[in-house]
């Protein structure tokens, strides 16, 4: 099945996913950047898996919120069925953040396994931007290339 944009989320489902991303951001370990981020993944069965950024005294080892959420989803046995993703930054007045390049690739792996094109909700306190993962990462390299 397709998933993604054609699988439009209603306003309540969108808000619940964004709320989960903000709740995860509140758990961020971001003492170096002071830029807490949360991500929440929505699956076809309604389950939400969230993650926050986890920084390190060795700065370059920081883990992004989306990557943590995807790793948790894999550990929970999920291999596809990704319908939507919310990414939220806690910094007041900030522009909605879009997933960094590495996270786009990490999200693509679990999306590609289930053949979905998830809707990505990029949220700040003031604004939400909606974009498909395929628009954030066109011509993605994925598992099919290695098949």
Q: Which residues are catalytic?
A: 66
Least Cα distance to 62 among 101, 33, 91, 38 occurs for 33
Structure-block tokens of residue 15: 């808000």
Q: Which of the stretches 4-12, 29-37, 107-115, 127-135 binds ligand THU when contact is defined by CB under 6 A?
A: 29-37
Q: Indicate the residue among 6 and 127 with the shorter CB distance to ligand THU.
A: 127
Dihedral pair phi/psi, residue 39, rounded to 5°:
-135, 145
Count of residues that bind ligand THU according to CB under 6 A: 14
Binders in 38-67 for ligand THU, by CB under 6 A:
53, 55, 62, 64-66
Q: Distance (Å, rounded) from C-alpha 84 to C-alpha 8?
A: 9
* Strands of 16-81, DSSP E: 37-43, 48-52
| Residue 108 engages ligand THU in binding (rule: CB under 6 A) | no
- Name the DSSP letter for residue 101: H
Q: Which of the stretches 32-40, 42-50, 71-79, 128-136 binds ligand THU when contact is defined by CB under 6 A?
A: 32-40
| Residue 133 engages ligand THU in binding (rule: CB under 6 A) | no
**Closest separation between CB of residue 65 and ligand THU, Å?**
4
| Residue 97 engages ligand THU in binding (rule: CB under 6 A) | yes
Rg of the Cα atoms in the chain: 14
**Closest separation between CB of residue 88 and ligand THU, Å?**
10
Residues 6+ apart with CB under 8 A from 125: 92, 93, 94
| Residue 30 engages ligand THU in binding (rule: CB under 6 A) | yes
**Are the beta carbons of 74 and 86 closer than 8 angstroms?**
no
Give contact residues for ligand THU (rule: CB under 6 A). Answer: 30, 33, 35, 37, 53, 55, 62, 64-66, 97, 99-100, 103
């Amino acid at each position: 099945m397709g998933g993604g944009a054609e699988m439009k989320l209603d306003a309540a489902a969108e808000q619940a996913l964004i709320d989960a991303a903000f709740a995860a951001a509140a758990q961020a370990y971001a003492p170096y950047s002071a830029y807490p981020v949360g991500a929440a993944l929505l699956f076809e069965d309604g389950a939400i898996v969230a993650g926050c950024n986890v920084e390190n005294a060795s700065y370059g080892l920081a883990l992004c919120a989306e990557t943590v959420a995807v790793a948790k989803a894999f550990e929970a046995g999920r291999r596809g069925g990704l319908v939507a993703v919310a990414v939220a930054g806690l910094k007041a007045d900030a522009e909605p953040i879009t997933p960094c390049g590495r996270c786009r690739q990490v999200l693509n792996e679990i999306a590609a396994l289930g053949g979905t094109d998830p809707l990505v909700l990029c949220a700040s306190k003031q604004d939400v931007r909606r974009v498909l993962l395929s628009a954030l990462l066109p011509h993605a390299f994925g598992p099919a290339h290695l098949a």
